[in-house]
Structures are given as C-alpha cells and as structure tokens.
Amino acid sequence: MTRDLNLYFDNAATSWPKPEAVYKAAEIQMRQACGNPGRSGHTRTLEADRLIYRTREAAARLFNISDPARVVFTYNATDALNIALKGFLKAGDHVLYTAMDHNSVLRPLGRLRRDELITSTMIPCSDQGYPDLDYLEHSYRPETSLLVINHASNVTGAIAPLSDMIASAHKRGIKVLVDAAQTAGVVPIDTQKEEIDFLAFTGHKGLLGPTGTGGLYVSSGLDLNPLREGGTGSQSEMDLHPASMPERLEAGTLNSSGLAGLLEGITFILNTGVEEIQKSESHLRQYLYTKLQSINALTLYGPGDSGQAAAVVSFTLENADSGEIGYILESSYGILCRTGLHCAPLAHQAIGTFPEGTVRLSPGFFTAEKDIDYLVNALNEIVRLVSG
Amino acid sequence: MASSCYITFPTTFYAIRAESVLKSQPYSFKMVPVPRSISSSCGTALRCSCENIAVLKEYLLQKDLELEGFYKLEESGLKTPVVTALDLEQQGINEQ
C-alpha cells in the first residue's frame, strides 16, 4: 500500500499541513525582517514590531477582543495556562476544574496544591467527556476564585457548555479561564459575548501556525502578576518589569518568525471563516465516527453526535495494546495518530480507559474523505489480524 | 536652530498602534528611534512637527492609547540637542 504523509490523523497534537503562506512567512521573517522587536528602533526592528502588532490584531479579531493590548503572546497553550493560573491565584484560593483538563492545567494546580497555596475541586465528567453541571453548582465555596474550563477534550472531542458554565461562575463573581487548546480556530469563540476572563490558546493546532506560538487573552480590568520578568525594550531604566499590557506578561525576545507564520494561519482562518472550518471538521468527524462504528470489534469513545465535538475520536480494540495498533498503523499503512493517555489521565479515568489509554484519531481541515476510507480499511485489516 | 517634537510610549505596542491609527489621518509624522537625549522609554518614538503635537496627542488619547511623554528638541548640528518636556494640558504648547 502507498504511504502518504497526508494520512495524518494527529491534528489534535499539532496540525499538518499548514497553509503554504505559513511556511513562507516564517522564512521571510527570519531572512528579511530580522530585527529584534521592540528593541532597537531601526527599520528592521520596526518591521518586526509591525508584524507582531498585526498578529495581535488578527488574534483579537478572531476572538472578538476589542483591545489587542490584552492579547499576550506565549510559547503555547501550556505557557498561557501557567501564566494565568500562577499570575491570578492567591494563597488560600479554591479552584474548580474538570476531569477533561489536560496536564497543562492539572500539573500547575498540583504544584500549587502541594505547596499548600490553594485547594481545588475536580468536576467529574460523563463517559463522553461532558462536565457534570449539577456537581459544579454544588462545588462553589466562599474562597473559590477561578473556574477552569476545558473547551474541548483532547481525548473525546466533547465541547463543554461554555455559556452555561461561565454564567454559573459569574453569578457568584468567580472568574473563568478557558483552555482553548483544541478549539481556537476550529470552534467560534467570542470573548465579549461569552464574557471570558482569560482565554489560553496555542498557535500550532487549529490556528495552523508554527510550534512555539500561542497566546493568552486577559480581559480588561484584570491584572496578572507576571510569571517572567526581563527585557522588554521599554522603560529600561526601571528595576521592575513594566506594568503596561501586553509587555507586562511578555519578557525577552518574542518568536517573531513563528508569529509571522501564526499571522498567516489566522489570516487563512479569518478568510475561510471559523464556522466553515467547524462545519467541515464536524462533517469529517461524523464520517469517521460512523465508519468506525461499522467495525464491531472497536469500542468508540466520545459523543456520537459530532455537532458538539471537536474533530477527535478515540477507540480501543479488546485485548489489543493501543500503542501496538498505532505502531502497525504507521509501519504498515503510513497512518500517523496518537496513542496512550494524551497527557489527560483524568479524562481517561472518566471514560474508563485508564491506564491503558486509547488510539486517538484527529482529522483536520485538510483531511479528505478518501483518507478516512483508507484508514478504516487499514483498521478492518488490523482487527482481522488481531482477532484471527 | 531646527526643532521637532516627539511623543514617547510606555510600550512598543502603543508606538506601533499609534502608527497604525494615524495612517489614515492627514498628519505627517515618522516613527524613529527614541533620541538618547530623551531618557529612553521604548525603542521607538513618534516624531512630528511641533504645530501638530497637541492635535496628535488628543487624537491618540481618543483612540485609548497609552502615551508616556511629549518633548521638543532643538537641534544644532551635531551638538547635543536641547530637550524640553512639554505640558500639553494647557492651551497650546507651554514649556514646563
């Protein structure tokens, strides 16, 4: 059988391919506009400054953020989540989070708990990955300051009921941090309509940009303590980091070539339309889910209705190691996917696949139905092999 | 002696935002490295004619920009220019 790198079913880890303009812009930025943004004042620096400004504006447009100064660039979503959690939480605070949360939330919270700075409560989720809203209603305490919402699970694709959860927290004066690692660029996110306080996103998944890019939106009126301090090119005579956003939360030279690529990724999304991308990915997920359902030996996880799910489907095959299935898929068919726990151990506990994990298939905007047909055919053969 | 006026910004973000929002306006201005004679804020300042600086300031504040300082530089060849911080709160340009 032919091996084609287009048989890439790991877009939930990082998207591939990227729009051609993304590759080109990153290269051009490195070759031609190589000044250090914010530092020197010469023309190449100014060019880099303008590029970063345009990227901030594009991100603001995508998430309906009125003031681009509230968009801070980070290395990825993990970085953004760390900045939000460690910059917002104070000693004695109580935090609510869900079983679908990724280690990028679980581990910072785990450390803050271990250091006896905070307490926290996990909101359980259904075996499809939807949070238990009744449980949430009964979990608030007087010292609760933050609700962390995993917008879409990286294991099942389940999209959390954002509006309901935010309303529940806000009526008690509690702030909300939305982890949009799996949704930015593929599910419409309106920070003003939803009244999101903090939005963490990565650049290299749904936004179709390079790795090493991401961002955090901080709504106006909320000031985070910076996780990092250092050079900004501004107010250099002061011995404290500038308080003005966005530099308040950005220290050191930004990843300007990465951000040049990210700008093109976001531009592609704005031109295509997030709704259009969501429609297309939802169709692909449903197509994949339905085809997998026809293989009786597989157990599928996550919503059967792809209308409320990001393009992620997990499965297991009885008596077969998920890692082994992933290995056969690549070595015999050239199909790339991800197996195991996907950095989300509590999610696998919730859906009943801990500690073995699952095989996760995540198509992207550029996946074709014929790729899914080829994948399903490969899985049929593997099932026959394992059962035979 | 030639003189020109400068607006400085607390962060690079606002310097570039100023350039961006002024693009569609009829004022002539230039983004330049902050003159060393103005103690440094961010790397880039806006240079404009001193007749326009009060109007530009008003326009930028209307657009919710954060501005840092306003300066007049009188230059004489390669000698260190004479810097005057401007108080634009008063009518016209009053030197502080």
ipTM of the complex: 0.82
How far, in Å, CA of A311 to CA of A154, rounded?
9
pLDDT tens column, A318-354: 989 999 999 999 999 999 999 989 999 999 999 999 9
pLDDT tens column, A258-313: 999 999 999 999 999 999 999 999 999 999 999 999 999 999 999 998 889 999 99
Model confidence band, residue A106 (pLDDT cutoffs 50, 70, 90): very high
Q: B5 φ, ψ to 5°?
A: -115, 155
In a domain, B59, yes or no: yes
Model confidence band, residue A83 (pLDDT cutoffs 50, 70, 90): very high
Residue of chain B with shortest Cα separation from A43: B32
pLDDT tens column, A47-81: 999 999 999 999 999 999 999 999 999 999 999 99
CA distance B40 to chain A (A): 7
Which chain A residues are within 8 Å of B16, Cβ to Cβ?
46, 49-50, 52-53
In a domain, B62, yes or no: yes
In a domain, B93, yes or no: no
Provide the domain limits for residue B84. Answer: 2-88
In a domain, B94, yes or no: no
Beta-bridge partner residues of A317: A298
Put simply, the answer to whether A242 touches B11 (Cβ < 8 Å) is: yes
Chain B stretch 37-96, residues whose beta carbon is closer than 8 A to a beta carbon of chain A: 39-44, 64, 66
Which chain A residues are within 8 Å of B9, Cβ to Cβ?
234
In a domain, B37, yes or no: yes
Model confidence band, residue A197 (pLDDT cutoffs 50, 70, 90): very high
Query: Nearest Cβ partner of A41 from B17, B33, B66?
Result: B33
CA distance B51 to chain A (A): 24
CA distance B46 to chain A (A): 11
How far, in Å, CA of B33 to CA of B36, rounded?
9
Residue of chain A with shortest Cα separation from B63: A67
Count interface pairs A-B at CB distance under 8 A.
71
CATH number for B46: 3.30.70
Joined together, the tokens standing for residue A167 give 């309303």
Which pLDDT value is given to residue A12? 96
Strand (E) or helix (H) holding A317? strand A313-317
Which among A153, A89, A78 has a CA at the least distance from the CA of A123? A153
Which pLDDT value is given to residue B37? 86
How many domains in chain B? 1
Q: What are the DSSP E strand ranges found in A32-143? A: 71-74, 94-98, 119-123
pLDDT tens column, B22-58: 999 999 999 998 888 886 556 889 999 999 999 999 9
Residue of chain B with shortest Cα separation from A55: B13
pLDDT tens column, A201-226: 999 999 999 999 999 999 999 999 99
End-to-end CA distance of chain B: 20
Under 8 Å between Cβ of A110 and A97: no
> Which of A234, A249, A253 to mutate to probe the B interface, most B CBs <10 Å?
A234
Domains of chain A are 20-272 (3.40.640.10), 274-387 (3.90.1150.10)
Under 8 Å between Cβ of A58 and A80: no
Which chain A residues are within 8 Å of B14, Cβ to Cβ?
69, 244
Put simply, the answer to whether A45 touches B17 (Cβ < 8 Å) is: no
Over 70: is that where the pLDDT of B1 sits?
no
Model confidence band, residue A6 (pLDDT cutoffs 50, 70, 90): low
Residue of chain B with shortest Cα separation from A70: B13
What's the whole-model pTM score? 0.94
Can you say how many angstroms the Cα of residue A195 is from the centroid of all Cα atoms in its chain? 19
